[in-house]
Structure 1
Amino acid sequence: MQDELSQFQKFHVWDLVDLPKGVQPIGTRWVFKCKTDDRNVVVKNKARLVVQGFYQQEGLNYTEVYAPVARIEAIRLFLAYATYVGFKVYQLDVKSAFLYGKVHEEVYVTQPPGFEDPHNINKVYKLDKALYGLQQAPRAWYETLSKHLLSNGFDHGQIDSTLFIRKAGGDILLVQVYIDDIIFGSTNELLFREFEKDILSKYKMNDSSTYGTPIPVNHGLHHEKDGKDVDCRLYRGMIGSLMYLTSSRPECSRKSTSGGCQFLGDRLVSWQCKKQSTVSVSTCEVEYISAASGCSQILWIQQQLSDYGLNFTGTPLLIDNNATMSITNNLVKHSKTKHIEIRHHFIRDCAEKHLIELVKVHTDDNLADLFTKAFDRSRFEHLVNLIGMFNPE
């Protein structure tokens, strides 16, 4: 607890002041956590002082709280690009990140329980920096980090505000931010060494410890020779019963499921499996809606890669349904599709602008089926092998 309060003093988080008239201070509380290793042995006792943010009033204690967070697909795309280009990826975890965020509103909090000043018992703390639990804390942290990077030669991604790019000649430095976790890499080692030094010095982490592997080498996991095997037939029976129910009762299966996956080269970066929001009257309509969903994901990936300096058009969209390809490529035909919601027809515009190219794929090689259908072992293993997964054994 004392270490936590020492951090507040170090970063000038607050000032002890008299409470203005008519202002209600926000309460604080301690949150305790025992950090354990993979063997469940306590390695550190941690205390964090948090603000009871649920007492805050919008317009009075805060205005805007939104803070961008990186999509998981964006992180996969980052890693896929890193392996494609061949540069190393590094990770930073900023300790007590929210304490760096500047608070613009006037926010008053009570003194920490157990650490009240006996000579100023009626005084409160006025926040200059954000505390955990404060509604605007994530936004304040992001604003601080963003301003620092932008002032040091970085640019925002065009559609992803959590991606920062710095270009120097023919080299590029990429930084992806997920709250207080940062991954970065560059085609030039000098660029990311410079970035690492800059970030560590700004956030006073020059003496921080490093890890060579994600988990300890002696993680303690081993095969339990005397253990009892789990009966997998129960789980398979439950899933089989649900599949039989949905296929034999028409009222349970009125909506189809869209499935798809996207690759950067031969690297799988995103995949989807979602029940469609509309009731379809034909297989063609189901496939058409699925194709439109896959097209929207392709457009996002194209725009994301443009920040990396890669521009793609004519991206192949693999479909195994001839009617869907005919509807997409023929803009004046198929009057029977006029009941399909207009929002799904944007795929036609994308095909006309050559942003995508519809390619016929044989049903046996349709990878989207892996996310929507059940197969026998041989077909399942074939599709799993096609998406690049492998069994390490």
Structure 2
Amino acid sequence: MGHKYALAVVDNTTAYKWCFVIKSLKESQEGNGFAERAHQTIMGKVRCALIGSGMVAKWWPEALKYMTAVNNRMPTTRLKGKSPYEVLFRTKPAGIGRQIWGSTCYAHIPITKRTNRKLSERAIEYLSARDVKFGTTYTEGLISRSLPSEEINVNNENITEICDLRKRYREIDVSAPKMRSRVANEHKISVGSTETVGDVGQHVFVPPILRSCRIRRPNSRLRDYVVSINAVTISAKPLQIPRSIKEARKGLHAKQWENTLQIEYQALVANNTRDIVTLPKGRKRLGCHWVFDVKYHPDGTVERFKARLFVRGNTQTQGVDFNEIFSPVARYESLRLLLAIATIRDLHVHEMDVSTAFLNGSLFEGIYMQQPHGLGMCKLKKSLYGPKQAPRIWYALLSKFLVSVGFAGAKRSTVNGVTHIVLICVYVDDITIAASSMIFMQKVKAQLASRFTMKDLRDIHYILKVEIKRDRTNTILSMPQHKYIMDLLQKLEMTECRSEPTPQAKCVVLVKEERLTPEQISAQQFDYRVGSLMYLVRGTRPHIANAVRDLNKFLSCYNKSHYKAAQRILKYLKGTSTYGLIFDGKNKEVMYELYTDASFANANGNRKSVTVYVSIMADACITWISSRQSTVSLHTAQAELIAASEGIKESEWLWVLLEELAFKQTQPIVCWCDNKGANSIITDPAYHTSTKDIYTKGLYAREIHDKGRIVIPY
């Protein structure tokens, strides 16, 4: 015969609401996993409370009551973020107690009960076995009696402190090999030597330390972890950004923010950005606010504090306050192409930053701004930061200046220029310069500094959250995004997560969730995760493009499976945070290859195909894509032809851009496509009746092939 346990929920109105019978064999309680697991969890907390407080084991019932109360007030995923207390009583708990269980407390002795009213003790020491939030009396003490909680003064200093090791190691900047060598040297000095102790000159012989010769191996449970004392500094939290001047002046870095504000104000005055006027009748005034930020080095250290006065451009009216607002910036593809060329030709690559770039452009529209702190009305003469047309004005000014000093803008990538052997790539106010000679490099820097206030960063190390590491001796250039990944994991509280071997699980089909509410959409920050991953795909991580593309379709209709898929990608990035693109310049020819492929009818749900292409230069990817095709393909040849057509269009962009940069391709570009049917449609002029629906794409690809710009091997 076994035992039966009845689990019931009782309601004052309906008595028994439901009853669940749990069966187990006699003297085999281990088989009841539900009860045993709950018992193990709560008793583990009880043991921690007893050990941490130093109380004897006889008080475990009181510790059990306290930990049970704490457990019932903690939110759980099974209850969708609510606690059992909140679900049962339909109100949020008052909170976990302010006092720690088992802490020392002092009970007040009334003056009428003191033996000597002036000299005797005013309090008696107790040990609290119950918190005021969960009980009204303290039942543990040096004497066995209870006291009202109002007469108790609690001191938590006797509890074992759980310290944050990151605070201790944040100031340590040593590596493990250095520590080992230093300890070894100290050990060699101490063995067989004498040492003077105290002031009396005693000589004490220090005997040699006997150590085991056995090779020490790490615990088997820790073999999949990389342990380093310096790893603690990676998870250091970034500085808190103030949201107003008041917060900046009251924070820990008030002096740095104040200096930054003074520098920005001096720049506003020096650039003659405004005129003090009265607001004309019928015109709108725009507000302004200060925006603060911190710029970091690739190693996580602070580079500088930044403060900008922003105009509230969201209140501008089109046609009155602004007209055209489009402003081109460099594509990631342009930057990777420039770095690939620099690696192959061993060019010098430097970076410059334009200080207060937007303050250089003049405004043609009349914009009136209310100055901060009630200083009155002003009319803006320069664009400042915030107006919708400010980026366009700055780009027009910079491009006009570059043309005036001899540069020619590239037609296919409007942010690149070439003059002899100097290339310039501009992303707003970040300017990357590649030159074959330092003479030309210094000349270009001097020209820019003569017109704008520039900051020379010399050799490029960090741009657009991408780290640039270069070994010119071996003609190697790498582009990891380690800092960006670690900052992302820290913001999502995943720095201690375990890594995954692949970014995407095999045979997992993601399905659209129809029952998601707007509150649930914003609760999990799913769109933030996917957006951050998309930035990595655009930068240096083409191998996670397909996994991120799958998630991008479910930004407003996701469920737990999509969330787990996003977490898996982040865990994969945790283990591969130092990975990146590696350009090898051993082949001195500026040439590229194109690879195209298609996954037939593999875009879940609508049976559309997936287009994939990648172009490679200097043994690394410079352009790539993984996207769902807009139409349903009827056969694999059609899907492969669409993918090849998209890849050939990208190849045409690269072909013309390289020609404008004085690197004209002398041989056809090799386009690798693994479908013989698609290859035949591109290379042969025969008319195929079964492929009339894709005939136009085939004609385009065939035209490029006939021009001799691509060759299709199989």
State the 1:233 CA deviation.
8.3
Give the structure 1 partner of residue 384 of structure 2: 131
Aligned partner (choices 141, 145, 148) of residue 394 of structure 2: 141
State the 1:187 CA deviation.
2.1
1:242 aligns with 2:509: yes
State the 1:107 CA deviation.
1.5
Q: Is the 8 A contact 1:65 1:139 kept in 2?
A: yes
SS in 2 for 1:60: coil
CA distance in 2, matches of 1:300, 1:351: 15
State the 1:153 CA deviation.
0.9
Aligned partner (choices 145, 166, 180) of residue 429 of structure 2: 180
CA offsets 1:192-220 (integer angstroms, 9 cap, x no match): 110012212322337x67678548x9x9x
CA offsets 1:24-78 (integer angstroms, 9 cap, x no match): 1211112233556778777755432101101111111111111111111111111
CA offsets 1:350-383 (integer angstroms, 9 cap, x no match): 11222211111xxxxxxxxxxxxxxxxxxxxxxx
Give the structure 1 partner of residue 369 of structure 2: 109
Aligned partner (choices 260, 284, 287) of residue 24 of structure 1: 284
Q: Which residue identity lines up with residue 498 of structure 2 in the other structure? A: V
Give the structure 2 partner of residue 347 of structure 1: 701
Q: Is the 8 A contact 2:603 2:609 kept in 1?
A: no
Aligned partner (choices 615, 629, 641) of residue 276 of structure 1: 629
State the 1:268 CA deviation.
2.5
Q: Are the structure 2 counterparts of residues 358 and 251 from structure 1 closer, same or farther at C-alpha, using a change threshold of 3 Å?
A: closer
Give the structure 2 partner of residue 85 of structure 1: 345
State the 1:344 CA deviation.
5.3
Q: Is the 8 A contact 1:329 1:348 kept in 2?
A: yes
Give the structure 2 partner of residue 165 of structure 1: 418
State the 1:151 CA deviation.
0.7
TM-score (norm 2): 0.44
Q: Which residue identity lines up with residue 634 of structure 2 in the other structure? A: V
Q: Which has the higher contact order (CA 8 A, sep 6+)?
A: 1
Moved over 4 A (4+): 34-45, 208-215, 233-237, 243-251
Q: Are the structure 2 counterparts of residues 295 and 334 from structure 1 closer, same or farther at C-alpha, using a change threshold of 3 Å?
A: same
1:259 aligns with 2:612: yes
SS in 2 for 1:340: helix
Give the structure 1 partner of residue 573 of structure 2: none
Give the structure 2 partner of residue 9 of structure 1: 269
SS in 2 for 1:89: strand
Q: Which residue identity lines up with residue 156 of structure 1 in the other structure? A: G
Structure possessing the higher radius of gyration over alpha carbons: 2
State the 1:149 CA deviation.
0.8
1:94 aligns with 2:343: no
Aligned partner (choices 203, 206, 213) of residue 452 of structure 2: 203
Give the structure 2 partner of residue 370 of structure 1: none
1:74 aligns with 2:334: yes
Q: Which residue identity lines up with residue 5 of structure 1 in the other structure? A: Y
TM-score (norm 1): 0.77
SS in 2 for 1:91: strand
1:230 aligns with 2:498: yes
CA distance in 2, matches of 1:18, 1:276: 57
Q: Is the 8 A contact 1:51 1:133 kept in 2?
A: yes
Q: Are the structure 2 counterparts of residues 7 and 251 from structure 1 closer, same or farther at C-alpha, using a change threshold of 3 Å?
A: closer
Q: Are the structure 2 counterparts of residues 270 and 211 from structure 1 closer, same or farther at C-alpha, using a change threshold of 3 Å?
A: closer
Q: Are the structure 2 counterparts of residues 25 and 343 from structure 1 closer, same or farther at C-alpha, using a change threshold of 3 Å?
A: farther
State the 1:311 CA deviation.
1.8
CA distance in 1, matches of 2:503, 2:439: 53
Give the structure 2 partner of residue 48 of structure 1: 308
CA distance in 2, matches of 1:248, 1:303: 33
Q: Which moved more, 1:18-27 or 1:149-158?
A: 18-27
Q: Are the structure 2 counterparts of residues 341 and 4 from structure 1 closer, same or farther at C-alpha, using a change threshold of 3 Å?
A: farther
1:311 aligns with 2:564: no
- Equivalent runs, 1:213-228 vs 2, <5 Å: 213-214=461-462
- The alignment-based identity, stated in percent, is 30
Q: Is the 8 A contact 2:351 2:460 kept in 1?
A: no
1:356 aligns with 2:710: yes
Q: Is the 8 A contact 2:351 2:458 kept in 1?
A: no
Aligned partner (choices 326, 345, 359) of residue 680 of structure 2: 326
CA distance in 1, matches of 2:341, 2:297: 32
State the 1:14 CA deviation.
1.3
CA distance in 2, matches of 1:49, 1:341: 55
Q: Is the 8 A contact 1:102 1:144 kept in 2?
A: no
SS in 2 for 1:193: helix
Q: Are the structure 2 counterparts of residues 45 and 284 from structure 1 closer, same or farther at C-alpha, using a change threshold of 3 Å?
A: closer
Q: Which residue identity lines up with residue 342 of structure 2 in the other structure? A: A
Q: Is the 8 A contact 1:8 1:99 kept in 2?
A: yes
Q: Are the structure 2 counterparts of residues 38 and 339 from structure 1 closer, same or farther at C-alpha, using a change threshold of 3 Å?
A: closer
1:150 aligns with 2:403: yes
Q: Are the structure 2 counterparts of residues 275 and 184 from structure 1 closer, same or farther at C-alpha, using a change threshold of 3 Å?
A: same
Q: Is the 8 A contact 2:603 2:628 kept in 1?
A: no
Instruction: Show structure 1 runs of 5+ residues with no match.
Output: 222-226, 361-393
Q: Are the structure 2 counterparts of residues 281 and 51 from structure 1 closer, same or farther at C-alpha, using a change threshold of 3 Å?
A: same
Number of corresponding residues: 340
CA distance in 1, matches of 2:405, 2:601: 62
State the 1:326 CA deviation.
0.9
Give the structure 1 partner of residue 323 of structure 2: 63
Q: Are the structure 2 counterparts of residues 344 and 15 from structure 1 closer, same or farther at C-alpha, using a change threshold of 3 Å?
A: farther
CA distance in 2, matches of 1:234, 1:319: 26
CA distance in 1, matches of 2:457, 2:705: 51
Q: Are the structure 2 counterparts of residues 335 and 244 from structure 1 closer, same or farther at C-alpha, using a change threshold of 3 Å?
A: same
Give the structure 1 partner of residue 443 of structure 2: 194
Q: Are the structure 2 counterparts of residues 148 and 319 from structure 1 closer, same or farther at C-alpha, using a change threshold of 3 Å?
A: same
SS in 1 for 2:509: helix
CA distance in 2, matches of 1:175, 1:21: 46
Give the structure 2 partner of residue 336 of structure 1: 690
CA offsets 1:291-311 (integer angstroms, 9 cap, x no match): 101100100000110122122
CA distance in 2, matches of 1:39, 1:152: 36
State the 1:128 CA deviation.
1.5
Over the aligned positions, Cα root-mean-square deviation in angstroms equals 3.2
CA distance in 2, matches of 1:305, 1:282: 35
CA distance in 2, matches of 1:8, 1:250: 53
CA distance in 2, matches of 1:100, 1:212: 25
